[in-house]
Amino acid sequence: MKLNKYFGSYKKSNVSYLLKLIKQYEASIAEYTNYEYPFFKGIQDFHYIDYIKNCELNYEQMEPNEVFKYISPLYQNIPNWINPGTMINVIPPVNLASLAGVCFTNIFNPNFAEDHYCGKLLTAELEVTKYLSDLLQWEWEKAHGIFTFGGKGTNLYATKIALNKADPDNMNNGVTADKYFMITSAKAHPCHYEVCNWLGIGISNCIEAPCDENDCIIMDSLEKIICENIEKGRTFLGYNINGCSTVEYAIDPIKKIYDLNKKIVNKYELKYVPHIHVDAVLGWVWLFFNKYDFKANPSAFSKSDLIKIKSLAEKVSEMKYADSVGIDFHKTGFCPYTSSIFLVKNRHDYFTLNPKKYIEYADYYWGNYAPFETSLELTRASSGAIAALISLKTLGIKGYCEIIGTLFSSSEYFRKQLARNPFVEVINKDTEGLATLFIIKPPKYKDKNLDDIKTLNESQISEIKNYNIKYGEYIKKLGLENKVSFTYTSSRSYVLKGTNIKIGALKIYPLSVFLTRNVAKRLLKEMVKSIDNFIQEETQIKFSENKYLPDDMVYKEK
Ordered DSSP codes for 227-241: HHHHTTTPEEEEEEE
| Same domain? 295 vs 152 | yes
> How many domains are there within the chain?
3
| Same domain? 409 vs 391 | no
| Same domain? 73 vs 158 | no
- Domain assignment present for residue 192? The answer is yes
Question: Where is the domain boundary, 374, 400, 426?
Answer: 400
pLDDT per residue rounded down to tens, the chain (558 residues): 899 999 999 999 999 999 999 999 999 999 999 999 999 999 989 999 999 999 999 999 999 999 999 999 999 999 999 999 999 989 999 999 999 999 999 999 999 999 999 999 999 999 999 999 999 999 999 999 999 999 999 999 999 999 999 999 999 999 999 999 999 999 999 999 999 999 999 999 999 999 998 999 999 999 999 999 999 999 999 999 999 999 889 999 999 999 999 999 999 999 999 999 999 999 999 999 999 999 999 999 999 999 999 999 999 999 999 999 999 999 999 999 999 999 999 999 999 999 999 999 999 999 999 999 999 999 999 999 999 999 999 999 999 999 999 999 999 999 999 999 999 999 999 999 999 999 999 999 999 999 999 999 999 999 999 999 999 999 999 999 999 999 998 888 888 988 889 998 999 999 999 999 999 999 999 999 999 999 999 888 876 655 556 655 554 544
Sorted by sequence, the CB contacts under 8 Å of residue 408 that are 6+ apart come out as 305, 308, 309, 432, 433, 434
CB 516 within 8 A of CB 406: yes
Question: Where is the domain boundary, 400, 434, 462?
Answer: 400
Rounded to a whole number, what is the distance in angstroms from the first to the last CA of the chain?
54
Instruction: Specify the pLDDT at position 557.
Output: 45
- Domain assignment present for residue 374? The answer is yes
| Same domain? 134 vs 48 | no
The domain of 374 spans: 104-400
Q: Where are the beta strands (DSSP E) in 404-471?
A: 424-426, 436-440
Instruction: Specify the pLDDT at position 549.
Output: 64
CB 347 within 8 A of CB 353: no
- Domain assignment present for residue 84? The answer is no
Pairwise CA distance, residues 391 & 302, whole Å? 27
- Domain assignment present for residue 294? The answer is yes
| Same domain? 233 vs 252 | yes
Instruction: Specify the pLDDT at position 558.
Output: 43
- Domain assignment present for residue 86? The answer is no
| Same domain? 466 vs 516 | yes
CATH of the domain at 516: 3.90.1150.10
| Same domain? 122 vs 266 | yes
Pairwise CA distance, residues 356 & 534, whole Å? 64
> Around Cβ 320, how many Cβ atoms within 10 Å?
18
CB 179 within 8 A of CB 202: no
Instruction: Specify the pLDDT at position 491.
Output: 82
Torsion angle in degrees (nearest 10) through CA of 84, 86, 92, 96: -60
- Domain assignment present for residue 115? The answer is yes
- The single-letter code of the amino acid at 273 is V
| Same domain? 321 vs 391 | yes
Torsion angle in degrees (nearest 10) through CA of 306, 309, 310, 312: 160
- Domain assignment present for residue 548? The answer is no
Q: Which of 89, 87, 414, 433 is nearest to 250 (CA)?
A: 433
CATH of the domain at 293: 3.40.640.10
- Give the dihedral sign, CA 283/287/288/289: positive
| Same domain? 251 vs 272 | yes
The whole model's pTM is what?
Answer: 0.96
Q: Which of 156, 203, 198 is nearest to 326 (CA)?
A: 156
| Same domain? 124 vs 67 | no
| Same domain? 391 vs 256 | yes
Condensed to tens digits (0 to 9), the pLDDT of residues 407-434 reads: 999 999 999 999 999 999 999 999 999 9
Pairwise CA distance, residues 241 & 243, whole Å? 7
- Domain assignment present for residue 143? The answer is yes
Sorted by sequence, the CB contacts under 8 Å of residue 466 that are 6+ apart come out as none
Q: Which of 126, 201, 216 is nearest to 156 (CA)?
A: 201
Question: Where is the domain boundary, 400, 433, 466?
Answer: 400
Instruction: Specify the pLDDT at position 497.
Output: 84
Pairwise CA distance, residues 386 & 354, whole Å? 26
| Same domain? 426 vs 387 | no
